[in-house]
Amino acid sequence: MLRLIDRPGTHALLRVPGARRAVVSWNTRAASGGIALVAHRSDASVSEPLLYARWSPHERRSLDGADAKTRIAVDVLDSDVPLSAIGVASTVELDAVAVAIPPPPDARAPAHTNADTLPVPKLTQYLPAYPNERGWCSAASLAMMLRYYGVPADVPTVARGIYDEAYGGTGNWAFNAAYAGACGLRGIVAYLRGIDHVAAFVAAGFPVVISIGWTPGELPGAPLEHSDGHLLVVRGLDLAHVHVNDPAHPAVATHYPRAALDAVFRSCGGVAYLIAPRARTDELVALANSPSTSSG
């Protein structure tokens, strides 16, 4: 489920009935600001503001606010008591705020066999000028998405713009969405229901950045034997393969077996970056909330 409020000002209340986990993402043009979340829970308790994020032209920092029942870990809100809503309080005007919650484990999207390959520019995460930076998969994937939509972007600049000083890396999902928003696009973090769900976005002209991880043998053709967390861009699909721009692959443009990529994507929770022109926000939300089917 994805909920989004366009131009909420500085405060919003997003309903998330029964959720124990959520990711809040936001867009703003403000160069500096801060966000706190308020957990409204099914036992009628309400948290104090839980500090979520702070940013300025000099740094971005996740803040990991928590109380006895609910806690934030970098970009994920976890609650021991089911949530009924999440309040968002910002120090600056927001262009949009969104909350995504994971689907039920057996939820699937309707079958979507093919999606024509989209012309996503290729960028690697491994740059000779930065030999010690081996974890720029998110920055490279985001830079490819920005270029696809006509926004000039290079990997080192994007990496600096999304780097989380507290987390110590560029993989903070909400900061990646916020960077896209600051570039004039709509950036949202969402939970999707497998590769069929991704295919629906690609068929509509939206490449999708997906978060995956795998153990040895789980992803044939992968450039790394294993990974605890990696991001790449899905740009096309057919019955047997998913066509991707993988910033860790020597060729960048490659393909993976559809069943294998679906399995590792779903096993990692189905987290994706949805990025598009702001005028197409409603399409993103509608596709994210398309009806589910059950695997059982």
Residue ranges making up the domain that contains 39? 2-100
Last residue of a domain, one of 100, 120, 136: 100
Residues 12 and 155 in one domain: no
Q: What are 232-275's pLDDT values in tens digits? A: 999 999 999 999 999 999 999 999 999 999 999 999 999 999 99
Q: Is a pLDDT exceeding 90 seen at residue 293? A: no
Last residue of a domain, one of 100, 126, 160: 100
Candidates 287, 179, 162, 264; CA nearest to 217 is: 264
220, 95 in Cβ contact below 8 A?
A: no
Q: What are 166-220's pLDDT values in tens digits? A: 999 999 999 999 999 999 999 999 999 999 999 999 999 999 999 999 999 999 9
Residues 223 and 194 in one domain: yes
Q: Is a pLDDT exceeding 60 seen at residue 296? A: no
Q: Is the dihedral of CA 229, 235, 236, 241 positive or negative?
A: negative
Q: What is the pLDDT of residue 292?
A: 86
Residues 155 and 67 in one domain: no
**Cβ count near 286 (within 10 Å):** 12
Q: What is the pLDDT of residue 295?
A: 58
Residues 154 and 121 in one domain: yes
155, 214 in Cβ contact below 8 A?
A: no
- What is the average per-residue pLDDT within 8-27? 97
Q: Is a pLDDT exceeding 60 seen at residue 22? A: yes
Residues 282 and 151 in one domain: yes
Q: How far apart are CA 94 and CA 96, in angstroms?
A: 5
Q: How far apart are CA 146 and CA 129, in angstroms?
A: 22
Residues 269 and 190 in one domain: yes
Q: What is the pLDDT of residue 294?
A: 66
Q: Which amino acid is at 176?
A: N
Domain count, the chain: 2
Last residue of a domain, one of 100, 124, 155: 100
Residues 163 and 249 in one domain: yes
Q: How far apart are CA 275 and CA 296, in angstroms?
A: 31
- pTM assigned to the model: 0.96
Residues 66 and 139 in one domain: no
Residues 227 and 259 in one domain: yes
Residues 192 and 61 in one domain: no
Strands 107-108 and 76-100: unpaired
Q: Is a pLDDT exceeding 70 seen at residue 163? A: yes
Residues 286 and 259 in one domain: yes
Q: What are 84-139's pLDDT values in tens digits? A: 999 999 999 999 999 999 999 889 999 998 999 999 999 999 999 999 999 999 99
Q: Is a pLDDT exceeding 70 seen at residue 32? A: yes
Q: What is the pLDDT of residue 208?
A: 98
Q: How far apart are CA 70 and CA 274, in angstroms?
A: 26
Q: Is a pLDDT exceeding 80 seen at residue 291? A: yes
Q: What is the pLDDT of residue 153?
A: 98
80, 184 in Cβ contact below 8 A?
A: no
CATH code at position 140? 3.90.70.10
**3-state secondary structure (DSSP) of residue 147:** helix
